[in-house]
A = this chain, B = another copy of it.
Amino acid sequence: MKNDLILANVAKHITLDQDEVHYFTSLLKYREVEKGASLLKEEDVCTTLSYVHSGALRAYYLGKYGKESTIMFAIADWWVTDMYCFLNCLPAMTYIEAIEESYICQLSKEHFDQLLAEVPKFERFFRILMQNAYTREQLRIIQNLSQSAEERYRNFLQKYPLIAQQVTQKQIASYLGITPEFLSSIRKNLN
Residues of A at the B interface (CB closer than 8 Å) are 61, 63-64, 67, 69-71, 83-84, 87, 93-94, 116, 120, 123-124, 126-127, 130-131, 133-135, 137-142, 144-147, 174, 177
Contact = CB atoms under 8 A, between A and B. Distances in A.
Given A67-B146, A120-B124, 14 more contacts: A63-B146, A64-B146, A69-B145, A71-B141, A83-B131, A84-B135, A120-B123, A127-B127, A130-B130, A134-B134, A134-B137, A137-B141, A144-B144, A145-B177
How many copies the complex holds: the figure is: 2
Contact of A124 (B69, B84, B94, B123): B123
15 contacts: A61-B142, A63-B146, A67-B146, A71-B138, A83-B131, A83-B138, A84-B135, A84-B138, A84-B139, A120-B120, A123-B127, A130-B130, A130-B133, A141-B141, A145-B177
Nearest to A130: B130
Contacts of A144: 141, 144, 177
